[in-house]
Structure 1
Amino acid sequence: MVKVVILHPDLGIGGAERLVIDMALALMSKKHEVTIFTSHHDPTHCFSETKDGTVQVIAKFDWLPRRIFGKFYALCAVMRMIFLALYIRLFFSADVYIVDQVSICVPFLKILSSKKVLFYCHYPDMLLTDRKSFLKLLYRKPLDYLEGLTTSMSDKIVVNSLFTKGVVSQTFSHVKKCEVLYPSLNTSKFENGYEIVCTDINLDSFDFVFLSLNRYERKKNINLALEAMAYVQKNCSERVKCHLIVAGGYDTRVNENVEHHLELEQLSQKLGIHVNTTFLRSISDTTKLFLLRNCTALVYTPSNEHFGIVPVESMYCSTPVIAVNSGGPLETVENSVTGFLCDPSPERVGQAIMQFVERNGLKERMGKAGKKRVQEMFSFEAFTEKLHSFVMELC
């Protein structure tokens, strides 16, 4: 048995958080002792495994600010992770550390220690923010340098896709080698009978229901799903009832979530599709699975998404995926077999949606192929064995 500590900045609801929990479950299935440390964990806004005691979670230093004068998010995140790493080194022992997202804490975990650190890189943080002003450039420069330096100090660097591997290799000159560990599904959760009724909307009242499932963030380009549905409404027969459900993570602490939700509602009014659109916020796991199982197709709109677990979840639920033709979906979605990969334009995405309206049996055929693809490429067993091998190698 190996004692493993996983560090993650904010254990809310999202793809990165789902990966961290699946890491813990995978290692626990191999009889390792696993604890997740985080600076924030809200029992009302988290995955069920962190709330019901399945996975041990310890939250520290939430009193530290998330921002200063509405800015300096990156600096605050770095400071919270440094405090977390120092606390662990002083009061907690482990054989292997797994650091997720924020590499700055890697050297602090290695101080006066022979223990090994695995860093999981979803995407270089320095590429996620702009540098439009000189002050922003000045502020980010030391953070960017430290990100590259501390990433390279890890004993093993793991990324979520071949796409991210290429980006990391080009971005960090210090990094010589990294390996791919695709996020996976704990498919046992998907096999349980979620016989629930989505009280927010009666799906049976529509001929076709399309689902957008993302956090309420502007970079997720949810606008594209709304604009594509406006295209469908304009070009489809009035007798065909199509509906769009926009659902995803929503945190009242995050101004962007609140603002963007309002922006999307206003856009649906402007496009004249508000009657055919439903917005859901911070849905439960059971509601998410219900929607994935019962919608016609998933409309996945982020461009250059690092991996994107939602298309994999959708395919495992035998639901086809319409995704933008960049980033992770190029590796997960097989075009014209398990769904469609499209240019990020309302017309192209709208035309893909209309394929399901016009072609009988397409959902069933693509859905079957999608589930088979997930079972072959993204099984939880394969994920577990590879992660276990990394941990044993570091030991």
Structure 2
Amino acid sequence: KDGPSLNIAIIHPDLGIGGAERLIVDAAIELSSHGHNVHVFTSHHDRTRCFEETVSGSFPVTVYGAFLPRHIFYRLHAVCAYLRCIFVALCVLLLYPSFDIVIADQVSVIIPLLKFKRASKVVFYCHFPDLLLAQHTTLLRRVYRKPIDWLEEITTGMADLIFVNSKFTASTLAKTFKHLSSKGIKPAVLYPAVSIDQFKGPDSGTRLNFLSINRFERKKNIELAVSAFAMLCRNRGEFDGDLSLTVAGGFDTRLRENVEYLAELKKLAEEEGISRHVHFITSCSTSERNRLLAQCLCVVYTPKEEHFGIVPLEAMASHKPVIACNSGGPVETVRNG
């Protein structure tokens, strides 16, 4: 805090709305508040679907490579993501003087490029090994992923410092990237945090509302919240009109999974006979999220084996109890009972 001012670049794949993006925004704000010069680079930044701080001038955000495809006929997502991030990294290398520190977030393939400027120290923040997030269900997929998975492990080990978001992710990284472990390369745990000043205390207008906040992705297991809410309604016998479930989170019309999953959740609510009592909110603003947290009864967090999970922290900062799956990162943040 009292040291010299540093020039810091942060490279993030897609600056939308989600836990990873919230981490980047908070890190940039905090580093800037300590007098450092922070510049965020990304391949996509929709000013109508992002965290407000990224457009308020708190720190500069520069986009390179938005014209590059995210997929090719809904295939080759990983290759396209790598190419987009590589393009961003090349622009940073060629168009800007050396940064003291470059933080590569999520995508490790750009680390060798960033190491060309020896004056810069490269920090890699790993949310979870991409190898484990990808599907390896068919021979063709396994052949396609083999060089990508190898490249991820090798380039991760090239960083000057590796951070992960939880002890769960640290142990998973060690089990997954055994070559790095054998070389004694171990990540440090740097938990994401929330600014508690932005959250209000208990709202006098608290309602019998269960709240789920997640991106509209199938791995978030939001159907569990819908099904559990339907079971609760059935067990109560006569339905209480004040009881409701709100499902809010990041939503991107460019992503087919987001569109399909939202439709699936709405269909599930209809099949369970609770559609009038389940409300869906896509890409809510920070202020709207804080209002939802202040007014809800509790937060239901459904992902299994979640890498960390920022939502439980936001809920507790709002003085709300959390119901979460007993696995992954939430085990480290949510105290049972």
Q: Counterparts of 2:88 and 2:118 in 1: how far apart (Å)?
A: 16
Segments of 4+ in structure 1 off by > 4 A?
none
Equivalent of residue 158 in structure 1, options 133, 155, 163: 163
Q: Counterparts of 1:294 and 1:31 in 2: how far apart (Å)?
A: 36
Q: Counterparts of 2:166 and 2:246 in 1: how far apart (Å)?
A: 28
1:29 is aligned to 2:33: yes
Report how far residue 112 of structure 1 moved. 4.7
Q: Counterparts of 1:207 and 1:135 in 2: how far apart (Å)?
A: 50
**Gaps (5+ residues) in structure 1?**
196-202, 337-395
Deviates more, 1:36-45 or 1:49-58: 49-58
Report how far residue 189 of structure 1 moved. 2.4
TM-score, L = length of structure 1 = 0.80
Q: Which residue of 1 aligns with 2:214?
A: 214
Structure 1 pair 226/146, CA: closer, same or farther in 2 (3 Å)? same
**Secondary structure of the residue that 2:11 maps to in structure 1?**
strand
**Secondary structure of the residue that 1:4 maps to in structure 2?**
strand
Q: Counterparts of 2:62 and 2:119 in 1: how far apart (Å)?
A: 24
Q: Which residue of 1 aligns with 2:336?
A: 335
User: Aligned ranges for residues 66-215 of structure 1 at < 5 Å?
Assistant: 66-93=70-97, 94-172=99-177, 173-175=179-181, 176-190=185-199, 208-215=208-215
Q: Counterparts of 1:239 and 1:73 in 2: how far apart (Å)?
A: 44
- Does the aligned pair in 2 maintain the 1:301–1:324 contact within 8 Å? yes
- Does the aligned pair in 2 maintain the 1:4–1:98 contact within 8 Å? yes
Deviates more, 1:108-117 or 1:234-243: 234-243
- Does the aligned pair in 1 maintain the 2:163–2:189 contact within 8 Å? yes
Q: Counterparts of 2:148 and 2:255 in 1: how far apart (Å)?
A: 22
1:19 is aligned to 2:23: yes
| Aligned partner letter, 1:277 | V
Q: Counterparts of 1:296 and 1:123 in 2: how far apart (Å)?
A: 31
Structure 1 pair 97/221, CA: closer, same or farther in 2 (3 Å)? same
Q: Counterparts of 1:211 and 1:189 in 2: how far apart (Å)?
A: 18
Higher helix proportion: 1
| Aligned partner letter, 1:5 | A
Structure 1 pair 263/35, CA: closer, same or farther in 2 (3 Å)? same
| Aligned partner letter, 1:330 | V
| Aligned partner letter, 1:160 | N
**Secondary structure of the residue that 1:6 maps to in structure 2?**
strand
1:8 is aligned to 2:3: no
TM-score, L = length of structure 2 = 0.94
**Gaps (5+ residues) in structure 2?**
none
| Aligned partner letter, 2:63 | A
User: Aligned ranges for residues 176-325 of structure 1 at < 5 Å?
Assistant: 176-190=185-199, 208-238=208-238, 240=240, 241-325=242-326
Tell me the alpha carbon deviations over residues 322-357 of structure 1, each in whole angstroms, 9 at most, x when there is no partner. Answer: 000001110010001xxxxxxxxxxxxxxxxxxxxx
Q: Counterparts of 1:62 and 1:239 in 2: how far apart (Å)?
A: 48
**Secondary structure of the residue that 1:63 maps to in structure 2?**
coil
**Secondary structure of the residue that 2:180 maps to in structure 1?**
coil
Count of equivalent residues: 327
- Does the aligned pair in 1 maintain the 2:213–2:301 contact within 8 Å? yes
- Does the aligned pair in 2 maintain the 1:248–1:283 contact within 8 Å? yes
**Secondary structure of the residue that 1:70 maps to in structure 2?**
coil
**Secondary structure of the residue that 2:199 maps to in structure 1?**
helix
Report how far residue 265 of structure 1 moved. 0.5
Report how far residue 187 of structure 1 moved. 2.4
Seq. identity, %: 48
- Does the aligned pair in 1 maintain the 2:100–2:119 contact within 8 Å? no
Q: Which residue of 2 aligns with 1:366?
A: none
Tell me the alpha carbon deviations over residues 279-320 of structure 1, each in whole angstroms, 9 at most, x when there is no partner. Answer: 111111111000101100001000000000001000000010
Q: Counterparts of 1:121 and 1:239 in 2: how far apart (Å)?
A: 44
Report how far residue 237 of structure 1 moved. 4.5
Q: Counterparts of 1:57 and 1:183 in 2: how far apart (Å)?
A: 21
Q: Counterparts of 2:52 and 2:197 in 1: how far apart (Å)?
A: 14
| Aligned partner letter, 2:249 | G
Report how far residue 114 of structure 1 moved. 3.3
Q: Counterparts of 1:48 and 1:153 in 2: how far apart (Å)?
A: 33
**Secondary structure of the residue that 1:99 maps to in structure 2?**
strand
